[in-house]
Structure 1
Amino acid sequence: MDANKSRKLSLMLVLFIQVLAATLPGCFLGASQQLPIKKPEVQTMASHGHGFGSSLYFPVTGNVYPDGYFAVSFSIGNPQKPFPLDIDTGSDLAWVQCDAPCTGCTGCTVPPDQLYKPAQGSFVLCEDPLCPVIQSLGETTCKGPYEQCHFHRSYADGSSVRGVLVRDNFYLGIINGTPFQPSLTFGCASDIQHGRHGPPPTTGLLGLGKTAANIFSQLRVENVIGHCYSAKGGGFMFIRNDPVSSSKVSWVPMSQNTLAKHYASGPADLLFGGAPTSIKGLHVIFDSGTTFTYFNSAVYEAILNLLSKDLNGKQIRQVQDPDLPVCWNDGKPFRVLSDVKSYFKPFTLGFTRTRNAQLQLTLENYLIISEHGNACLGILDGTKERMGNINVIGDISMLDKLVIYDKEGKQIGWSSANCSRIPKS
């Protein structure tokens, strides 16, 4: 198996974001050609008559290994067509691989009949309030208010996506016996350039970042979203119209420093086997768009030293594996993580400004059993991946945890959970 295909870096790692005024080659219309487009009334959960003492739940597919992603499927358009989207709390824009008028789709990885086909009246104009929202620094390059709103994003792994904004109906379920199909803005991606981690594994991406561009922010709910990924694969995600309150949830405030644009918190100290370590004062980003967990080089090397010292003298040795950089074996193939429980200890992130807020990293939260029967470390060197000094809590460290992003309350929460079963609304 190609390791690069199973390891997904978040689309949080955007080098730059631009909204382009120039149209793509082909038949997208310029200002002088643009047909009138009726602005739809925004359909919110409140206007749909939903008091929302419950949540909307969506089943999730995928796994940390070997797939390397978790996805949710939404039906879009009329007639409805399902699109599996990679769930990414590290980016703010949803986009799908798109069969653009006359241009088709460059770099798309799905068959033509699975591409999104925008209707002529679905294109979003530069005058739309969401057009400047998706720009990185508020820069606007639209030539006029009636130009189509183009987007172009480049990412740290060398990949990029280009297209136009469109607006169409998303089928999100049944509320009070009525289909809930709000008209939402997302990206029609017709030019996709693949980076070193290979092509996207799904038909698109569901950006759930902190800006107003993400589709659930457009619903004008209380901005409470969450996910629960099972270590066995699959799980669920949800949105709520009211805050989550539970004594079982550990809450930490969202960072208001340089990481404020992400779902980040800190400082936190790292414990190993319940004992304090020299690794202290970490600020971390919670990112569902990243498969594994990444620490900067200094922290990563310190973690390797902790593991090396603890494993010294045990009947296990480090081996080479094509899937991940650091792996171990005791002379016979491992089949499940319980085979290595006598060798490894859990890690814990203790958040120092919140009493009893600890993120437990059991074996399943930092190790995988590879296809070659080795136990491999699911913690990687972020500095080598061009992530600088930031630390990212990826999918592996959030397995079997209900993780909640409460933008209204400016807090992140988590609790242990059975993620294999979707709760009743």
Structure 2
Amino acid sequence: MAPARWTLATCLVLLLLLPFAPGPARAATPTPAKSPSSSSSAVFQLQGDVYPTGHYYVTMNIGDPAKPYFLDVDTGSDLTWLQCDAPCQSCNKVPHQLYKPTKTKLVPCAASACATLHGAQSPSKKCAVPQQCDYQIKYTDSASSLGVLVADNFMLNLRNSSSIRASLTFGCGYDQQVGKNGVAQAATDGLLGLGKGSISLVSQLNQQGITKNVIGHCLSTNGGGFLFFGDDVIPTSLATWVPMVRSTSGNYYSPGSGTLYFDRLSLGVKSMEVVFDSGSTYTYFAAQPYQATISALKAGLSKSLTQVSDPSLPLCWKGQKVFKSVSDVKKDFKSLFLSFGKNSFMAIPPENYLIVTKYGNVCLGILDGSAAKLNFSVIGDITMQDQIIIYDNERGQLGWIRGSCSRSTKPTMPFHDHFSDLNH
């Protein structure tokens, strides 16, 4: 996958006919469901950045004995998967030794998790290999992961000072294809699917009574940040909340239609459907809002900025001196605003839509969604920076709180010990 990756728009699960090398498996004993405790939340440190890494990732300890793996955090996909030695047919270079499954870890075709994964896409198909559940996920940039479902232990440290071993279902990917941008995602071992579907990791934790079905992340402009599962990590009274609506384009996290403003003035374009996706490095606007944004930006730019070609992004400018950070140039750009309903606004200041490249140019991190064949708009990592974004599946709402995400967090420490100056 490329740094300017796009993993949301078309996530297709297919039933395949490839036999899995380890052979038949025993079905795992299900964990009884119970009501999650409000205090059983988990907090994880994040690594990565928008530029030049192109993604944020978390360390998950998986297996028995548990081994660390880096997973790309993606709220736009449901299925978590690891590149694995099953054996591997086509794998990218990864930071850790490939995950190696055993026969007992295979999820059989008759399992409910397999039915959930395939249900909407291929309800009439039957399994060619009953002992396994095959999958293939294709992404809009033509990247893909092909493999089988397995169930293995995830070790989680909870904020109530306890540790838990949860048996969770995920993909064992033995054939990965790089997207059309042609850059392998070498910094990660796989992908952490945190979408709305019941196969997503946080949905499984909720079904087992471990955490509430609430996800949040805070991505720092300085790199890193944190991810959390559960509903007692953030002070909800500080958040701007909007109802989570059903996306017309798929089962994605959407606050509905948003109206775009530039410097608090209407751009004169109709409202656009918006989705939140941490699996997208950059933000994508639908065709009309994108063109209106470009026109407004260019009209207000200083004459000291000259448009320049830069391989990093499509639209870039150079100054009289080389830029070292966005703070060097943000005075020349105005803030954007998205309005949801009557009283819910998301501010998008210059630092939430600009990057400075290694060539010393400033580039626009808002891209043309129509070029990616999207008919809706996407809030990606660049716009989520230094905001806590909350995906509350319990109450059916999305929220955000502006504040620094640079501070380190520990699973057992109260939120306000780290963020007492939030919103100041």
> What's the TM-score, normalizing by structure 1?
0.89
CA deviation map 1:377-405 (0-9, x unaligned): 0000111123x211100000000000000
What pairs with 1:155-194 in structure 2 (closer than 5 Å)?
155-174=139-158, 176-194=160-178
Contact kept? 1:44, 1:182, Cα under 8 Å: no
Q: CA deviation at 1:243?
A: 9.6
Q: Distance in 1 between matches of 2:62 and 2:51?
A: 28
> Could you tell me which amino acid in structure 2 is paired with residue 23 of structure 1?
L
State whether residues 41 and 160 of structure 2, in contact with CA within 8 Å, keep that contact through their aligned partners in structure 1: no
Report the counterpart of residue 266 of structure 2 in structure 1.
276
2:200 to 204, 210, 214: 214
Counterpart mapping for 1:1-40 below 5 A: 5-10=2-7, 12-14=8-10, 16-20=12-16, 22-24=17-19, 27-29=21-23, 34-35=24-25, 37-40=26-29
CA distance in 2, matches of 1:329, 1:224: 42
SS at the partner of 1:364? Answer: helix
Q: Deviations over 1:56-110 (max 9, x none)?
A: 100000000000000001010011110100000000000000000xx33413322
Residue type of the partner of 2:133? C
- How far 1:306 sits from its partner (Å)? 0.5
Are 1:370 and 2:353 an aligned pair? no
State the alpha-carbon separation in 2 of the partners of residues 280 and 217 from structure 1.
Answer: 35
What is the aligned partner in structure 2 of residue 396 from structure 1?
Answer: 382
The answer to whether the 8 Å contact 1:210/1:262 transfers is yes
Q: Is the 8 A contact 1:108 1:190 kept in 2?
A: no
Partner of residue 110, structure 1:
94
Secondary structure of the 1:216 match is: helix
Q: Distance in 2 between matches of 1:229 and 1:120?
A: 38
Preserved contact between residue 15 and residue 127 of structure 2 (Cα < 8 Å): no
The one-letter amino acid paired with 1:402 is I
Please point out which of 248, 252, 256 is paired with 2:242. Answer: 252
| Residue 259 (structure 1) shift | 4.0
Distance in 2 (CA, whole Å) between partners of 1:136 and 1:348 is 39
Partner secondary structure for residue 182 of structure 1: strand
Judged with a 3 Å threshold, the aligned counterparts in structure 2 of structure 1 residues 366 and 136 are, in CA distance, closer, same or farther, namely farther
SS of residue in 2 equivalent to 1:180: strand
Query: 112, 127, 136: which one pairs with 1:143?
Result: 127
Distance in 1, matches of 2:90 and 2:250, equals: 34
Q: Does 1:128 align with 2:111?
A: yes
Contact 1:23-1:148 at 8 Å conserved across structures: no
Secondary structure of the equivalent of 2:218?
Answer: strand
What pairs with 1:204-353 in structure 2 (closer than 5 Å)? 204-220=190-206, 221-240=211-230, 246-259=236-249, 261-311=251-301, 314-351=303-340, 353=341
| Distance change (3 Å), C-alpha of 1:136 and 1:398 | farther
For residue 299 of structure 2, give the secondary structure of its aligned residue in structure 1: helix
Alpha-carbon offset, residue 293 of structure 1: 0.2
**Unmatched tracts of structure 1, length 5 or more:** none
8 Å contact from structure 2 (residues 14, 121) kept in 1: no
d(CA) in 2 for partners of 1:260, 1:394: 17
State the AA in 1 paired with 2:12: F
Please say if residues 106 and 131 of structure 2, whose CA atoms lie closer than 8 Å, have aligned partners that are also in contact: no
CA deviation vs aligned residue, 1:191-229 (integer Å, no higher than 9, x gap): 111121322331000011111001110112431111000
- Preserved CA contact (<8 Å) 1:254 1:410: yes
Q: Give, in angstroms, the shift of residue 53 of structure 1.
A: 3.0
User: What is the deviation of 1:354?
Assistant: 4.3
Matched to 1:223, the amino acid is: N
What value does the CA root-mean-square deviation take over the aligned residues?
Answer: 2.2
Partner AA of 1:229 in structure 2: L
- Cα distance in 1 for residues equivalent to 2:110 and 2:179: 32
- Partner secondary structure for residue 358 of structure 2: coil
Percent of pairs with identical residues: 40
Contact 2:40 2:160 in 1 (8 A): no
Contact 2:286 2:377 in 1 (8 A): yes
* Contact 2:2 2:179 (C-alpha < 8 Å) held by counterparts: no
